[in-house]
Amino acid sequence: MCGIDSNRIREYNLAKARNILLVSVGLFCLWFATMPASAQTFTVLHTFTGKGDGRLPFAGVIQDGSGNLFGTTYYGGAFDDGVVFQIKPNGKEKILHSFWGGDGWVPEAPVLRTSTGILYGTTSYGGKPKGGGCHHGCGEVFRLDTSGKLTVLYAFPGGENGGQLWTGIVEDKQGYLYGTTEQGGDAGCDYGWGCGVVFKLDRSGKETVLHAFTNQPDGWSPSGELILDSAGNLYGVTEAGGTSENGTVFKVTPSGEETVLFSFPGGTGGYAPQGPLLPDAVGNFYGVTAVGGGYGCGTVFKLDGAGNETILYNFAGTTDGCQPQGGLIWDAKGNLYGATRVGGNGGGTIYRLDTGGNITVLYSFTGGSDGNEPWGSLVLDKSGTLYGATEGGGNMSCGTNFGCGVVFKLTP
């Protein structure tokens, strides 16, 4: 069983996973010093129109070795059920697939690209041409080959097998695919819709549930993609649940044994962590929480191998932004890069955090033609150029003055 609201554009994950009130940062933040942006060149590569080319690119983008960008949009396309798209380095867009419901509906996660050009991804709903719970099914894992042929590898039925996929997948050396579902599994969360599962999928489409979340102490509502270590262990975060109901960092072994590495305390320790995690070579993890911290606007944190958390940065909600989303990336010098959903000039920010904990705002979105509310992780190429997508902004014909979204690049 899966829940669905056919009018839903996107319930922001904070309010969805837990009944949190988004923090108002109003007047008490105004006395913070502004943080100057470094000299960057911002370019909109593609502005979605909300028609055949898609709208609302929640998931950000990935990049191949030739500089092509790939991603998904939540709605739009030939049937308004979402698309998989490619953006060439010159900004020209190509629609690789338009979903119609039975082959998937409303993708909102990044795709995974293999060395042969095959794309794997997920949709939140759909997957069954006839019938099925939710809306033609409770989500799927799909395969899209280079000729544009889409194959549904597995359509989730809901219930104990999981349902509603808001995150992408990862692949191990043997070709198995791993991911999480937002709902399903143990029914003790989300008004009976379920706490979510960690799953494994072979290339024939056989699913194995490795772990079903139970809220306490292991968390619920997994967020962001999983990451794999060399031994096949999976790591990820849940937005809610855990000992303090503020989210967790977890590990799942290849046999399905789950360990809670950290439960977020809330308050200054942050809560509602956003995946994926970023590992280093010595066993530390880096990530963000969307809320909490010193000013209520989220944090950048580090978690060591012993489970000790260090807050590297507290967002103040002024020019530095508020509610960081997606995972972190870093450059060869160890600087961290990420995005905030709101703040800055009103439409969110792109920031760099150096090893000393000093933040630089690289770009501040206005919410207009340059985009509004960046979601998903950024991409950093060898030249130091950043790429990403915003949920809204650009062409303002989508929604009530919200916009259809853009794909952008930020050049040093």
How many CA atoms lie within 13 Å of 222's alpha carbon, on the beta-carbon side?
Answer: 42
Residue 5 DSSP SS3: coil
pLDDT, tens only, 136-165:
889 999 999 999 999 999 999 999 999 999
Sequence ranges of the domains in the chain:
99-263
Nearest alpha carbon to residue 207 among 162, 165, 256, 159: 162
DSSP state letters, 250-276:
EEE-TT--EEEEEE--SGGG-EEEEEE
Residue 360 corresponds to which tokens in the numbers above? Answer: 């630089």
Fold annotation for 99-263 = Neuraminidase (2.120.10)
Q: Cα-Cα-Cα-Cα dihedral of 263, 267, 268, 274, to 10°?
A: 50
CB atoms within 10 A of CB 329: 16
pLDDT of residue 136: 82
pLDDT of residue 4: 35
Q: Which amino acid is at 291?
A: V
pLDDT of residue 286: 98
Q: Which residues of the chain have pLDDT under 70?
A: 1-39
Residue 120 corresponds to which tokens in the numbers above? Answer: 């794997």
Outline where DSSP puts E strands in 202-308.
207-212, 220-228, 234-240, 248-252, 258-263, 271-279, 285-291, 299-303
CB atoms within 10 A of CB 205: 15
DSSP state letters, 30-49:
TTSPP-PPPS-EEEEEEE--
pLDDT of residue 306: 97
pLDDT of residue 37: 56
pLDDT of residue 203: 87
pLDDT of residue 369: 97
Supply the pTM of this predicted model: 0.92
pLDDT, tens only, 290-301:
999 999 999 999
Cα separation, 134 vs 144, whole angstroms: 23
